[in-house]
Amino acid sequence: MKKIFAFLFVLVAFGTVHAQTAASADVLRVKEEEFDFGTIPQGKPVYHFFKIENNGLVPLKLDNVQASCGCTTPEWNKEAIAAGGADQIKVGYNAAAEGPFTKIITVTYNGNTTKQIRIKGTVWKAPAGSAPANTAVGFLKNQMQ
């Protein structure tokens, strides 16, 4: 009977350790999974750097970083990140279209594991034409003559 209880205890303990290991198997840690650019002017590209860490015991390889559309351009280091090391992913957004936006960037690492990060914000349309005339400048020029 003692052998059965001992066997069950070992089995339950192993199952608990295995479950904890599986739950913490995500070795890629992203400091922030979403970044809000807020309100940005149309026609001006913006960039954000997502800080990433390798929480694993072996080097971490980012295989691909792909955006949901062509207006978003991710850049990343193609070299492996050492265990316990850190790096960053640069994400650029071409603010060509007016209005709110949310873009998803999929990070594929260590063969087939993926994680998603997001950027969002609102693009406002700049007024057409040149800036309005500054009447104060003309007034000052007349005063100087």
Going from the N-terminus, what domains does the chain have, and what CATH number goes with each?
23-127 (2.60.40.10)
At 21 the pLDDT is 41
Q: What percent of the chain has pLDDT over 70?
A: 72
At 67 the pLDDT is 96
pLDDT in tens, 1-40: 566 655 555 554 555 444 334 434 689 999 999 999 999 9
Mean pLDDT of the chain: 84
pLDDT in tens, 47-99: 999 999 999 999 999 999 999 999 999 999 999 999 999 999 999 999 998 99
Write the DSSP symbol of residue 60.
Answer: B
